[in-house]
Structure 1
């Protein structure tokens, strides 16, 4: 069903992983897509490589295969002026902006007193300041259009239940929830809904980062903080499972939902 026909969606971190999946799902539902990604090695402290320009091009190909329209922009979420320019391009090309998915994020591992200042700043600047930049760039256009809309931030189950070994990541994701809740209150009068998603481990390059195993080998007791999920499915959560929630939150089917934190976590947070 084309529940999002006539809508325009702006996504960050869309070159691969969750962002790519969300872009495809939103396009399948009828939305026009603006897909952004840094497409550069911007997080040297992470144990996995960042996306490349070829990844963003593949996202565009897959969206077009769904019959969708897409505009791609290479921009780092830490670049506020770059994101503002991308939003201006969105309005110029599509005439409106209805859906925002602030998805871009990175993760690295280490104990809080042992990581470097650069590692801490990398996580906070991309995961939290980057979300704020996305909001600052997109919200004025949505208010001016007067069409309401739906903003989604991608936090994490670690934004509610902080695990050991990535406290800097957890801090940034806790911050995303606080920012999102405040924004929901501030944008209610404009008919703009704001919600956050709380995924658990997801089958993406970030979710499959094997550098975490070195930390657990050195500190095996940390493993007990990762309690078993209620749903006994095999492996990590697939990005498409999260995209189902994204499409629902983008649509009028969730028209009374705002200020919510929605777990997509196989019951991890329920324990």
Structure 2
């Protein structure tokens, strides 16, 4: 019997990258999936978003494990769309037990600068709140909410960022920090109902977000058009362990743990899957 057998998971940003990995890993362990993704590019973001074909591929991979999946193109920035997506999924699959608020964008070097800041906040922070808020009325005792933060959320950006230089990048850090505080407080207030909420903080993760020209420029500002080969050696500076990045599956395994009954008393935590990035940069502040 799988570790989440018979449960239903609502996952945003599910068309590729971490979101797809989470959907497949939970399906491997017995969950049915409500998979949501916008599948539309942002004018302010310098790398392409997932496509409808990517979302269909997620469905194919889930179905390989003989699990059911409902795929929905929807925008996490729109609370009504999230409510409709949850209700559609529950109508098809009958229940809701797990929420994985994964959808997010990185606005590094985004233009126009301040619009990229707004798009990042609305997606990463407001989108997380919308997804969780849409799911909450349907959750019962034993349910698990998991949001994706970032090791960047733990940074003191005042020491590393030139004010006003890259609002999209700062928006990414702020949004992840703010959603972390939101989930922390939410966990306290839903605990009496037996519902848990936790945040996972990945370091660099090998997804299209990391492997993109804007991110390469962030890591190699000394080069006008850096490539993956230029940036990858610098990726490793983020972690104490000798790795350039982690894989989506490394995060999915933590998602699975937090979604399972093995973590039935784990709530309000900040789970770092970061190769020691926090240890390297942020000292002994637990």
Task: Return closer, same or farther for 1:215/1:59 CA change in 2, 3 Å cut-off.
Answer: closer
Structure 1, unmatched stretches of 5+, are none
1:218, distance to aligned residue in structure 2 (A) = 4.1
Tell me the equivalent position of 1:244.
Answer: 253
CA distance in 2, matches of 1:81, 1:24: 27
Please give the TM-score of this superposition, normalised by the length of structure 2.
0.86
Residue by residue, what CA displacement relative to the aligned partner does 1:8-47 show, whole Å, maximum 9, x if unpaired? 1000000000000000000001011000001111x22222
User: What is the rounded CA distance, in whole Å, between the counterparts of 1:252 and 1:215 in structure 2?
Assistant: 40
- For 1:152, the equivalent position in structure 2 comes to 146
- In the alignment, which of 257, 263, 266 is matched to residue 254 of structure 1? 263
Contact 2:219 2:235 in 1 (8 A): no
Aligned counterpart for 2:133 among listed residues 117, 131, 136 = 136
In the other structure, the counterpart of 1:123 is 120
Residue of structure 1 in register with 2:2 after alignment: 2
Q: CA deviation at 1:92?
A: 1.3
Aligned position for 2:33: 33
* Cα distance between partner residues in 2 of 1:236 and 1:248: 21
SS of equivalent residue, structure 1 residue 195: strand
Match of 1:186 among 185, 189, 193: 189
Q: 1:197: which partner in 2?
A: 200
Deviation string, structure 1 residues 191-240 (Cα, Å, up to 9, x no partner): 000000000111111011222333455469xx99984522213x421101
Unaligned runs of 5+ in 2: 224-232, 281-286
CA RMSD of aligned residues (A): 2.1
SS of residue in 2 equivalent to 1:11? strand
Write the deviation string for residues 153-201 of structure 1: whole angstroms up to 9, x where unpaired: 0010011114645211100110110111011011101100000000011
CA distance in 1 between counterparts of 2:53 and 2:115 reads: 28
Farther off after superposition, 96-105 or 86-95: 86-95
* Superposed displacement of residue 115, structure 1: 5.9
Q: Distance in 2 between matches of 1:217 and 1:242?
A: 26
Q: Tell me if 1:210 matches 2:209.
A: no
Aligned residue in 2 for 1:263: 272
Structure 2 CA distance, aligned partners of 1:217 and 1:141?
45
- Using the size of structure 1 for normalisation, the TM-score is 0.91
SS of the equivalent of 1:45 reads coil
Alpha-carbon deviation of 1:95? 1.7
Kindly tell me: are residues 195 and 217 of structure 1, through their superposed partners in 2, closer, same or farther at Cα, counting changes over 3 Å?
closer
SS in 1 for 2:91: helix
Tell whether the 8 Å contact from 2:83 to 2:134 is kept in structure 1 after alignment: yes
**Corresponding residue for 1:63?**
62
2: CA distance between counterparts of 1:242 and 1:13? 14
More deviation, 175-184/158-167: 158-167
Equivalences, count: 262
Aligned residue for 1:76, secondary structure, equals: coil
